Amino acid sequence: IRFLVIPTITDSDELIQNFGKFVNGLRNLESVELLAYGTHGKDKWYEIFNEYHLEGIRDASREDLEAVEKKLANFNFKIVY
């Protein structure tokens, strides 16, 4: 399973806990991979759609990934990034 960490959007305590509960119930799960959101594709979105809904959202940092990892620490699955 891959989880995209988008600061202020997918890193809330409630969302992370609900995600953890859901994933913890899956069988045959090898790991959860935390992915850092980045704006490197923003120009392409503007080119194709003339808008970018995540304007003003900063790129996720290593610290953001570590914070999400800490919130998921009480669940029984491996976390990688």
> For the residues 8-37, what does the mean pLDDT come to?
96
Report pTM.
0.89
Helices 13-24 and 62-71 sit at what angle, rounded to 10 degrees?
A: 60
Q: What are phi and psi of 20, to 5 degrees?
A: -60, -45
* The predicted structure's pLDDT at residue 15: 98
Q: Tell me the helix, strand and coil percentages in the chain, rounded to 5.
A: 35, 15, 50
In a 13 Å sphere around the CA of 75, the CA atoms on its Cβ side amount to 22
The pLDDT tens digits of the residues spanning 41-81 come to 889 988 999 999 999 999 999 999 999 999 999 999 999 99
Q: What are phi and psi of 2, to 5 degrees?
A: -115, 140
